[in-house]
Amino acid sequence: MKAKPGGRLHLLHLHSTFDAGGKERRSTSLINRFGKAVDHSIVSAQPGAMEARTQIDAGLPVYFPFGFPPLAGRFGVRRLQTLARAMKGFDLILTYNWGAMDAAMAHALFAPSMGLAPLIHHEDGFNADEAVKLKAARNWYRRVALARASALIVPSRQLERVALEVWHQPPTRMQRIGNGIPVKAYGKKPRADALPRVIKRPGEKWLGTLAGLRPVKALPRLVRAFQGLPEEWQLVIVGEGPERESIMAEAARLEIGHRVHLPGHVAQPADATGLFDLFALSSDSEQFPLSVVEAMAAGLAVASPAVGDVADIVSPENAPFIVPPGDEAALAAALLRLVQDEALRRRIGAANQVRARAEFDEAAMAARHAAIYAAALGRSSFP
């Protein structure tokens, strides 16, 4: 696919998955902000994982190329060469997470000979297979694959340390940009029936989370931590993914299936957070979870393991409820304390909201990304 004439830019986005998650929400937010001045082609390493396309504003020049070579597969020079050929003709190549690392390797090997556009890699964290310990072979592969990247963008201090110390990326390549959201869209109470498949009934309280239903999110752990909460509390897990059945099976085993709800993907996260009374994470690995910022902007207290930068994201008032990673009992205790004290929840939620509005608005995030993209293109501005 060729770049448009007349100075129009055409960006190629190569994602590990394009299901609705934190990195996808950030990517679609940037696409929406760049507007009609930029063309975008989006490819997912998991071809069926494309839910995030619903978050892109109607009428924008966004394409989903048919027949693009698979991003994942057995390593081979010929396969990488084919992948590199498919990247010709674009103005900027953007890769996301481990699932797109073969594309970065193809760029590293063939960019000079094929005249490929600059590449910027975005790394947002790890799946369950690297949540506890990084794989040495992947560390080496990342180091080589990113050799020609113009920039490596990460959202968290933890990932920045990994990239510098483990992947041996030069400091000049590193860019840390915290995730941002349209904070003014949060904090409003939507209708009780704003979510599919579940209605908030009078007298109910909702413990909520937004997450891809993947093993790394450890959502059966959240079900277990929830089980001791009072009967009026419901657990609402917003998102889609392969762990749906295991989550519901755990709820059934604990005989609380009637209080655990999985409404699926929600196009507007503010609709979900606006109905929550308390927010929780249970993940084994995060970096800069957008869902935590969304909960803060909605004026919610947060209970979460101290994964990634979560402890630094929340307000100081919320800090006592960020518990050791993997400590299910501590998470359950934090939830119970917050559930039992509505005034405490409100004070923490107010402090979180002030912090989110002051530090995590998406306008600043978008400006930082635009400046990095412009620098890679040798332009004074972007788009």
CATH number at residue 244: 3.40.50.2000
Looking at the structure, tell me whether residues 176 and 198 fall in a common domain. no
DSSP 8-class letter at 65: -
Looking at the structure, tell me whether residues 149 and 222 fall in a common domain. no
- β-strands 151-154, 119-122 pairing: parallel
Each residue of 255-290: pLDDT tens digit?
999 999 999 988 888 999 999 999 999 999 999 999
Looking at the structure, tell me whether residues 366 and 292 fall in a common domain. no
pLDDT of 140 over the 60 cut: yes
Place of tokens 């860019």: 175
| Nearest residue to 156 (alpha-carbon basis) of 303, 20, 26, 327 | 26
Looking at the structure, tell me whether residues 338 and 256 fall in a common domain. yes
Looking at the structure, tell me whether residues 247 and 214 fall in a common domain. yes
pLDDT of 90 over the 90 cut: yes
Looking at the structure, tell me whether residues 172 and 203 fall in a common domain. no
Looking at the structure, tell me whether residues 168 and 228 fall in a common domain. no
Share of the chain above pLDDT 70, in %: 98
pLDDT of residue 21: 81
Looking at the structure, tell me whether residues 317 and 347 fall in a common domain. yes
Residue 239 pLDDT grade (very low, low, confident, very high; cuts 50, 70, 90): very high
* Angle subtended by helix axes 22-34 and 362-377, to nearest 10: 70
Mean pLDDT of 303-325: 97
Please report the sign of the dihedral spanned by the C-alpha atoms of residue 74, residue 79, residue 80, residue 84: negative
pLDDT of 142 over the 80 cut: yes
Burial 169-194 (b: 16+ CB within 10 A, else e): beeebebbbbbbbebebbbeeeeeeb
Q: Classify residue 138: in a domain, yes or no.
A: yes
Each residue of 39-74: pLDDT tens digit?
999 999 999 899 999 999 999 999 999 999 999 999
pLDDT of residue 129: 87
pLDDT of residue 128: 81
Question: In angstroms, what CA-CA distances link 193 with 51, 200, 201, 216, 225?
Answer: 21, 7, 9, 29, 26
Residue 4 pLDDT grade (very low, low, confident, very high; cuts 50, 70, 90): very low
- What is the domain extent for residue 203? 183-359
Residue 141 pLDDT grade (very low, low, confident, very high; cuts 50, 70, 90): very high
Q: Classify residue 382: in a domain, yes or no.
A: no
Higher pLDDT, 301 or 287: 301
C-alpha angle 259-262-265 in degrees, rounded to nearest 5? 155
pLDDT of 5 over the 70 cut: no
Please report the sign of the dihedral spanned by the C-alpha atoms of residue 204, residue 208, residue 213, residue 217: negative
pLDDT of 351 over the 50 cut: yes
Residue 215 pLDDT grade (very low, low, confident, very high; cuts 50, 70, 90): very high
Q: Classify residue 253: in a domain, yes or no.
A: yes
Tokens describing residue 45:
């390493």
Tokens describing residue 195:
């979510």
Each residue of 145-176: pLDDT tens digit?
999 999 999 999 999 999 999 999 999 999 99
Q: Classify residue 4: in a domain, yes or no.
A: no
The answer to whether 339 and 360 have CB atoms below 8 angstroms apart is: no
Mean pLDDT of 214-235: 97
Higher pLDDT, 230 or 190: 230
Task: Provide the domain count of the chain.
Answer: 2
Looking at the structure, tell me whether residues 281 and 315 fall in a common domain. yes
* Angle subtended by helix axes 342-359 and 328-340, to nearest 10: 110
pLDDT of 2 over the 60 cut: no
Looking at the structure, tell me whether residues 171 and 288 fall in a common domain. no
Q: Classify residue 235: in a domain, yes or no.
A: yes
Q: What is the mean pLDDT of the chain?
A: 94
- What pTM does this model have? 0.80
